[in-house]
Amino acid sequence: MMFKKKRRWHCLSGQEPTELDKKVMYWENKGKEVPTRDLIRTPEEIEGIKRSGIVNTGVLDEVAKQIHAGMNTLEIDKICYDYCVAHGATPACLNYEGYPKSVCTSINEVVCHGIPKEEDVLQEGDIVNVDFTTILDGYFADASRMFIIGKTTPEKEQLVRVAKECLEIGAEAAKPYSFVGDIGHAIQKHAEKYHYGVVRDLCGHGVGLKFHEEPEVLHFGHRGTGMLLVPGMVFTIEPMINMGTWQVFIDEDDEYGWEVITGDEKPSAQWEHTFLMTEHGVEILTH
Ligand code: MF3
Ligand code: CO
Ligand code: CO
Residue 25 covered by a domain: no
Residue 24 covered by a domain: no
Quick one: pLDDT at residue 273? 99
**CATH code of the domain covering residue 150:** 3.90.230.10
Angle at 262 between CA 260 and CA 266, to 5 degrees: 140
Spatial CA neighbour of 92 closest among 198, 252, 263, 213: 213
Task: List residues bridging with 121 in a β-sheet.
Answer: 72
Taking the CA of 258 as reference, the closest ligand is 1
**Ligand 1 pocket member 62 (CB < 6 A):** no
Is 212 among the annotated ligand-binding positions? yes
Q: Of all atoms in ligand 1, which is nearest to the CA of residue 202?
A: 9
**Ligand 1 pocket member 142 (CB < 6 A):** yes
Residue 117 covered by a domain: yes
- Residue 166's contacts (CB-CB under 8 Å, 6 or more residues apart) are 187, 190, 191, 198, 219, 239, 241, 271
Residue 18 covered by a domain: no
Q: Rounded to whole angstroms, how far apart are CA atoms 158 and 163?
A: 8
Residue 177 covered by a domain: yes
Spatial CA neighbour of 26 closest among 34, 15, 16: 34
**Ligand 1 pocket member 99 (CB < 6 A):** yes
What is the DSSP track for 40-81? SPPHHHHHHHHHHHHHHHHHHHHHHHH--TT-BHHHHHHHHH
Q: Rounded to whole angstroms, how far apart are CA atoms 26 and 90?
A: 40
Residue 6 covered by a domain: no
Quick one: pLDDT at residue 2? 74
Q: Rounded to whole angstroms, how far apart are CA atoms 69 and 41?
A: 41
Count of residues in the chain = 287
Taking the CA of 112 as reference, the closest ligand is 1
> What is the three-state SS of 262-286?
ECCCCCEEECEEEEEEECCEEEECC
**What is the value of pTM for the model shown?**
0.98
* Helix 154-173 with 180-193: angle, nearest 10 deg: 150
Residue 246 covered by a domain: yes
Structural domain of 183: 34-284
Quick one: pLDDT at residue 3? 73
Residue 65 covered by a domain: yes
**Ligand 1 pocket member 237 (CB < 6 A):** no
Q: Rounded to whole angstroms, how far apart are CA atoms 273 and 21?
A: 27
**pLDDT for 147-203, tens place per residue?**
999 999 999 999 999 999 999 999 999 999 999 999 999 999 999 999 999 999 999
**For every one of its 287 residues, what pLDDT tens digit does the chain have, with 9 covering 90 and above?**
777 778 999 999 999 999 999 999 999 999 999 999 999 999 999 999 999 999 999 999 999 999 999 999 999 999 999 999 999 999 999 999 999 999 999 999 999 999 999 999 999 999 999 999 999 999 999 999 999 999 999 999 999 999 999 999 999 999 999 999 999 999 999 999 999 999 999 999 999 999 999 999 999 999 999 999 999 999 999 999 999 999 999 999 999 999 999 999 999 999 999 999 999 999 999 99
Quick one: pLDDT at residue 199? 98
The total number of structural domains that make up the chain: 1
Task: List residues bridging with 106 in a β-sheet.
Answer: 129
DSSP structure class, residue 179:
B
Task: List residues bridging with 262 in a β-sheet.
Answer: 248
